[in-house]
Amino acid sequence: MAKKKKKQYSIGLVPLLTLSISLSILLTVFLAGYFNLSPALKRFSDNVITVINTAFDSVENSHSTKPPVGSNLEVHYIDVGQGDSILIRTSQKNVLIDAGENNKGDVVVNYLKKLGIKSLDIIIGTHPHSDHIGGMDVVIDNMNINTVIMPKLPDNMIPTTRTYEDVLKSIQRKNLKITPAKPYDEYDLGGGAKLTILAPLTNLKGLNNMSVVSRLDFGECSFIFTGDIEKEAEESLLTNLKNIEILDVDIYDTPHHGSHSSSTAKFLKAVSPKAAMISCGQGNDYGHPHKETITKLSKITDEIHRTDLEGSVIIKCDGKTYTFESEKTKG
């Protein structure tokens, strides 16, 4: 699939920009009489130019990663029926985002074991609804886990469900702790891959809107993972992110299983994906994905993949191009 040219974005680079601007002012003064300067001052002026160019190059490429030769990335959208479970595999680390419903824990564990995975460096529970964290206790019990990331919820939103309690008990049994999802926190996944937390940025109504949103970068390849965010959370991202270009990615994890409550036109314009993934169950009671969402996605890309139609979908990336593989294409 052809790769679109991306604008690079930066985070926390205000000091660097301030330095560059200050140096630009100095440069202007020196250039006014550049050819009349002494050799020493002339060399100094040349050095100023080099510093400024280097500084702005750093801004432009601050989030660009260059994978080592031969390094590859895999993102598995695991078929867990009406739910979400996504595996990120690099040459060095494994990350699991969600684990489907309560009865899908063994499905996820068996999927991981078939790949030879015995440990997970990071496990992310996007939000405490059963179709996302229901199987997470089983995964935690059967895998070596390093880091658990979940959204920090206001007291009045903390669930009292058995599903949520089971996950917390599994975390306690393994002597783990929950790392709150903090926007702009970055996790080095090795092999040139980086995961950046984007949301939740503010407290919003409803657990769906408190979903952890994250971006994955690997060379020129980029993904966004969205949990079940709805219109309110999408608007929060568009309004409160330091730079909305961070939303501009190649692969769009369609929020809320393709519900019409998500994927607003404004949000899709900011993401402008080359391909979309939808995780949902065949013949589910919610009618996911909704026709309205498919229509909006079809106006942006003709590369739409669905776990209800294709089973588990694997996207492989070499840092420049993508390949798609699914249980359907295997068969």
CB atoms within 10 A of CB 33: 10
Backbone phi, psi, residue 95, to 5°: -130, 135
From CA 253, how far away is CA 244, in angstroms rounded? 17
Reported as a single tens digit per residue, the pLDDT across 274-302 is: 999 999 999 999 999 999 999 999 999 99
pTM, two decimals, is 0.82
From CA 171, how far away is CA 177, in angstroms rounded? 7
229-250 burial: b if 16+ Cβ within 10 Å, else e? bbbebbbbbeeebeebebbbbb
Query: Is residue 122 within 8 Å of 150, Cβ to Cβ?
Result: no
Residue 2 has pLDDT above 50, yes or no: no
DSSP letter (8 states) at residue 157: G
Q: How many CA atoms lie within 13 A of 91 on its CB side?
A: 14
3-state secondary structure 92-138: CCEEEECCCCHHHHHHHHHHHHHCCCCEEEEEECCCCCHHHHCCHHH
Reported as a single tens digit per residue, the pLDDT across 187-223 is: 999 999 999 999 999 999 999 999 999 999 999 999 9
Q: Which two tokens stand for residue 252?
A: 């769009």
Q: What is the mean pLDDT of the chain?
A: 86
Tell me the torsion sign for CA atoms 273, 195, 245, 289. positive
Backbone phi, psi, residue 8, to 5°: -75, 150
DSSP letter (8 states) at residue 288: P
DSSP letter (8 states) at residue 285: T
Reported as a single tens digit per residue, the pLDDT across 224-259 is: 999 999 999 999 999 999 999 999 999 999 999 999
